[in-house]
């Protein structure tokens, strides 16, 4: 008979409708990721493309796999800032447009945040703007040549963690990480190598945020190895 469908068919159709609704709501919050220098100020903004039926906004921070509640706005009670009250301005232009302004950003602020717009009866729609905190590199090298061997330290401090490599890649290497009081990371890379293995020179390569810095300890010029001016001999 026309117009009559088995129960399983109706259940299947209902699941399909729910799945379509879920998928469509995932892209209904407009966000943008931000970069900010350590100690600076930055604004993370979320805009819901659905304007009706919103009654609450929440902001959370993704931290160690958990959600840390930051701020909430309810239509009937207004705004409540739960974390970092002295460093966060919670902005609600409307129930579909909100932002958090972070002041004096620290390395702890690095990571992804979640904004959620609660709709009735649909439930929450969410966005996830991410914040990349950085601190510019500070680098130095010291070295010592003794008994036909070179012993050098390449130090780099920044955030996120810088990566250090040597060219050529031979010799004995050790590396140490230090977390500084302000959250920046120092990497000390030590190399001990025979002078016979650095006949073409020795260079410390530091990669950080997609950029590479190269510092030459020894450079071959006119067939001879030359110690680079400005480097500091070390006492070991």
Q: Where are the domains of the chain?
A: 29-128, 137-219
> Is pLDDT of 45 > 90?
yes
CATH of the domain spanning 29-128: 2.60.40.10
Please check the confidence at residue 67 and state whether its pLDDT lies above 60.
yes
What is d(CA 3, CA 91) in angstroms, rounded to the nearest whole number? Answer: 52
- Examine the pLDDT at 54 and tell me if it is beyond 50: yes
Fold held by 137-219:
Immunoglobulin-like (2.60.40)
If pLDDT is split at 50, 70 and 90, which confidence band does 52 have? confident
Dihedral sign for Cα 178, 180, 186, 190, please.
negative
- Lowest average pLDDT, out of 20-24, 141-145, 165-169, goes to 20-24
Rounded distance between C-alpha atoms, residue 83 and residue 72, angstroms: 11
Q: What is the pLDDT of residue 227?
A: 62
pTM, two decimals, is 0.77
- Report the C-alpha gap between 167 and 198 in whole angstroms: 9
Lowest mean pLDDT among 26-35, 121-130, 148-157: 26-35
Closest by CA to 158, choosing from 130, 142, 139, 132, is 139
Dihedral angle sign, alpha carbons of residues 101, 107, 108, 112? positive
Residue 9 reports pLDDT greater than 70: no
What's the mean pLDDT when you consider all of the chain?
Answer: 83
Of the chain, the percentage scoring pLDDT greater than 90 comes to 59
Task: Please write the tens of the pLDDT for every residue from 144-174.
Answer: 989 999 999 999 999 999 999 999 888 899 9
- Residue 204's pLDDT band, with cuts at 50, 70 and 90, is very high
Q: Which of 23-27, 120-124, 158-162 has the lowest mean pLDDT?
A: 23-27
Residue 220: predicted pLDDT: 64
Q: Is the pLDDT of residue 108 over 80?
A: yes
Q: Do domains 29-128 and 137-219 have the same CATH topology?
A: yes
User: Minimum mean pLDDT among 44-48, 103-107, 232-236: which range?
Assistant: 232-236
Please indicate whether residue 207 or residue 65 has the higher confidence score (pLDDT). Answer: 207
Does the bond joining 230 to the residue before it have cis omega, within 30 degrees of 0?
Answer: no
Q: Percent of the chain beyond pLDDT 70?
A: 81
| pLDDT, position 66 | 82
- Residue 193's contacts (CB-CB under 8 Å, 6 or more residues apart) are 149, 150, 170, 171, 172, 202
């Amino acid at each position: 008979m026309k117009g009559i469908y088995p129960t399983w068919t109706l259940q299947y159709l209902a699941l399909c409708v729910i799945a379509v609704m879920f998928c469509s709501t995932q892209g209904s919050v407009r966000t943008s990721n931000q970069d900010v220098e350590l100690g600076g100020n930055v604004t993370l903004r979320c805009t819901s493309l659905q304007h009706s039926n919103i009654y609450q906004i929440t902001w959370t921070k993704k931290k160690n796999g958990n959600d840390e509640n930051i701020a909430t706005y309810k239509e009937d009670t207004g705004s409540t800032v739960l974390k970092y009250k002295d460093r966060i301005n919670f902005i609600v232009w409307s129930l579909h447009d909100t932002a958090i302004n972070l002041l004096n950003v620290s390395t702890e602020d690095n990571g992804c945040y979640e904004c959620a717009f609660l709709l009735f009866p649909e439930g929450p729609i969410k966005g996830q703007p991410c914040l990349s905190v950085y601190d510019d590199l500070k680098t130095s090298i010291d070295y010592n040549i003794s008994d036909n061997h070179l012993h050098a330290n390449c130090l780099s401090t920044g955030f996120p963690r810088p990566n250090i490599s040597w060219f050529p890649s031979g010799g004995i290497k050790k590396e140490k990480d230090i977390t500084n009081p302000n959250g920046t990371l120092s990497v000390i890379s030590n190399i001990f190598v025979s002078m016979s293995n650095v006949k073409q020179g020795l260079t410390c390569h530091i990669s950080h945020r997609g950029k590479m810095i190269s510092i030459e300890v020894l450079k071959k010029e006119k067939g001879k190895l030359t110690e680079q001016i400005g480097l500091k001999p070390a006492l070991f």
